[in-house]
Every structure is written in structure tokens, then in C-alpha cells.
Amino acid sequence: MLRTRAADRLGPPRHTEFHWFLAARGASLLGNAMAPVAVAFAILQFDPQPSALGAILAARSLPLVVFLLVGGVVADRLPRIPVLLAANLGAGATQLVAACLLISDNYHHSALLMLEFINGTLTAFATPAARGALPQMIEPAARQQANSLMATVKNVSTIGGPALAGLLVAGIGGGWTIAVDAACSLAAASCLCRVRQRGGGDSTGTSVLGDLRVGWTHFRRRTWLWATVVAFSALNGIYVGLWTVAGPVVARRSLGVAAWGQVLGLNAAGLLVASILMYRWRLTYLLRWAVLCIAMLGPLPLLALGVRPTFTILAVAAVAGGVGFGIFGTAWETVLQEQIPGSVLSRVASFDDAGSYLMIPIGQIMAGVVVADRQSATYIAAGGVLYLVCGALLLTFPSVRNLARQHPTADSASIRLPAFQRHSDVSKSG
């Protein structure tokens, strides 16, 4: 383990704007945690065919692949906070329209496809902006702590979200639950109004294509980066497809809506445990241990869903899987912020997201077909085994195993704020 002197002196972030940013992300993520449960069971109520659910979920995932690269350029050219503000306002509006359609029993498959497509497009612009905005508020030496706090807020939001959504869907229906998601997006926009409108990175290209070429150059020259993204394209296609499409269908047959919401909440509890651990851990080879955790723990929920989908086994597997996902998530954000210049961080993050999301729509569509087969349990379990193999293969890359932490230094591209107190009493919490 490695703990730098600077990290020892720094305590938790205390800057007011950072708190508002955390609150905004928490509200947005709470709604996002409720939305998959609400949408899934609302669609199944009107159309029990798994293929219809897979198509609507894929409609939201597809623009994440198509527009993420453009979103990265926008986030490096324009102030990132206004980009986030506009995306949250748009997400709230689209979810309100979807809620009204479902509440009034005016289910239109094509209309919901379009609304989810728009919602996914907004996410494609918001995601790289959010990933580039956080380092601008945080001193380099404390980024792992900040990422851990962000993960904690995210996971606290998502722990209650699925369970609450399951109870609301069972009690008042999916439409009203989607309306709550819309309210969360609007609350996030309100919080973002209290954060200073900082500029994006210092874009060096003369055009969108020029900016993309610069980002691509930074992306392709790092083997550990593109290898991890390629691996996660497969991992996400396997996991998201089976867990979000096959999971609700299997749960509807055996566990029930409320129990499935509780399983998702326990999965988020595992994420919270991981974020607490990552607040303290200072691992020299952070990426190596993160990949090992995701390879060993990540497939457990799929294996449990395919082999023996009882509540107890699924709950334990969901917690373990959440720990693996949480450790990797915090570690990955920290590694990117340490290794990638701040001026191109949003663009590199957009290549990361676009590649990582590439197989999700395909996985969701295929899962909708697979889950209708009588041998669906076998396919789900096989997906868990394939997930383990893909994660293990990533560790065969020396640059992934041997990437060492950098001693945090001042980042000239970051806007340094008094985000951390430097009084002597803070060292007690370090």
C-alpha cells in the first residue's frame, strides 16, 4: 500500500460547491436507480413479451454509443456545469412525458422508444461532463478520496432506489414511479444552479473532428486503457443484458417485484461497502487489484440468477457483485484522473464510455430472445462463466497488471479551489 504525505494531510471535501455537486449527482442517480425497475415492470404490464422490454432498454443504450464522443468534445469545449444542467432538465421533461403516457394507460411502444432514445442522448452529453467536472473541484492529491465520496453518494442513492421502486410499482404502478424519477432530475438541476459555471478543458482542436483526433491519440497510445475498455465492452454486454432484461423476467416468475427491488438494493449496498473501503485504501497497483475484484466478484449475480434464483442466494451474490463493481468503479476514475491530462479528460472518458457501452444494446436485445427460451437459466449461467473468462483475460496484459500509481501533482488544467481544509486537526481523519 502507498499513502502519500499529501493524502495524509487532506480530510474530506468541505467546499460548498462540491457539496452541491454531490447533492445533484445523488438526486439524479436516485432517480436513475428507480427508473430501470419502473420501466421494466411498467412495460411488462402492457406488453409481456421480453423482446419489447429489450427493445425499449436498447433504445436508451444505443445513443450512449452514438453520441458519447460528441458529448466528450462538447464537455471539453463548453462549461461542464451548464451542460449537466441542461441534460438534467431534459431528462426530467422526457420522463414526465413517459410517466403521463403510462399513468393515463396510453401505452405506445414507439413513443416510449423515442422518449428513451432522447433520454439516452441526454445521458451521452451528461456523462463525460460529470466525469470532467469533478477533478476541477478537487486537488490532485485527494482525488481518490473525492471519487470515494462520490461513489458513496451514488451508492447511498441507489441502495434505496430499487427497493423503493419495487414497492412503488407494486403499490401504485410504474408510471408514478417514473414520475418520481423525473422529479429527481429536476431536483438535481436545482442543485447544479448553485455550482459555479466553470469552463471545460482547453480544447486544442480547430474542429469537432480535430478534437476527436486529439482524444483518440491519448486513448490509443495507452494499452492499459484501450484493453480495459475492450474487455468491458464484452463484460457490460453480458452483464447488463442478462441482469436488466432476464433479471426482471425471472423475478416476475419466481421472486416477485418487491423481492427483485430488494435484491437490487442489496447490490447497491455492496457498492457502498466498496466505496467505504476505497476511501482508505492506497494500493500501488490499483488497476491490477480492481480488475481482479471485478473478475472474481462481478459474475456471481449472474451465476446465482442462472443456477439457483432463490432470494437468499441472489441477495448474497448481489452484495458480493456490488463490492466488485464498486472497487473497480472508484479505482478506474482515480486512475483516469491521474494518468490523463485534464484538458482532454472528457474526450478520453467519452471514448471509454462509448467503447464500454458498445455491446450493451446488442446484449439487451439478445437477452430478450434468450430469456424466452426454456433453457434460459443455462444461458444466464453460461453468461456468468463467460464474464469470468473475459475479466481474467484482461489480467494477461502486462500494462494492466503493472500500472503503478503516480504521486499526485498539481494539474495545470484543473481549476484549483479551497476544496479541502489544511488545518492540523484534519490529519486525524486522514
Residues 131, 159: contact at Cβ < 8 Å? no
Whether the Cβ atoms of residue 280 and residue 401 lie closer than 8 Å to each other: no
Could you tell me the pTM of the whole model? 0.68
pLDDT at 41: 79
Residue 216 to residues 278, 349, 352: CA-CA distances in angstroms?
30, 10, 10
pLDDT in tens, the chain (430 residues): 333 333 333 344 456 777 888 889 888 888 877 877 888 777 777 877 777 777 887 787 788 777 878 888 888 888 888 889 999 999 999 989 988 888 888 888 888 889 989 988 898 888 888 888 887 777 777 677 778 888 777 777 767 777 778 888 877 777 888 888 889 999 999 999 888 765 555 555 567 788 888 888 999 999 999 999 999 999 999 998 888 888 777 777 777 777 887 888 788 788 888 878 887 777 788 899 999 999 999 999 999 988 877 888 999 999 999 999 989 988 898 888 888 887 788 888 888 888 887 888 788 788 877 776 666 778 888 889 999 999 999 999 999 999 887 654 433 333 333 332 222 222 232 2
> CA-CA distances (angstroms) from residue 122 to 66, 90, 128, 345, 348?
12, 7, 11, 19, 18
- What is the C-alpha to C-alpha distance for residues 114 and 94, in angstroms, rounded to an integer? 10
CA pair distance 400, 291, nearest whole angstrom: 8
**Residue 324: what pLDDT?**
92
Residue 207's contacts (CB-CB under 8 Å, 6 or more residues apart) are none
Q: Distance between alpha carbon 399 and the CA centroid of its chain, in Å?
A: 24
Average pLDDT across the chain, whole number = 79
pLDDT at residue 374, as a whole number: 63
3-state secondary structure of 207: coil
- Listing DSSP states for 263-312 in one string gives HHHHHHHHHHHHHHHHHH---TTHHHHHHHHHHHHTTHHHHHHHH---HH
Q: What angle do CA 293, 296, 300 make, to 5 degrees?
A: 120
Q: How far apart are CA 62 and CA 45, in angstroms?
A: 24
> Which grid coordinates belong to 35?
427508473
CB distance 331 to 278 below 8 Å: yes
Contacts of 361 (CB under 8 A, 6+ apart): 58, 61, 62, 65
Q: What confidence score (pLDDT) does residue 223 get? A: 93
Q: What is the pLDDT of residue 6?
A: 38
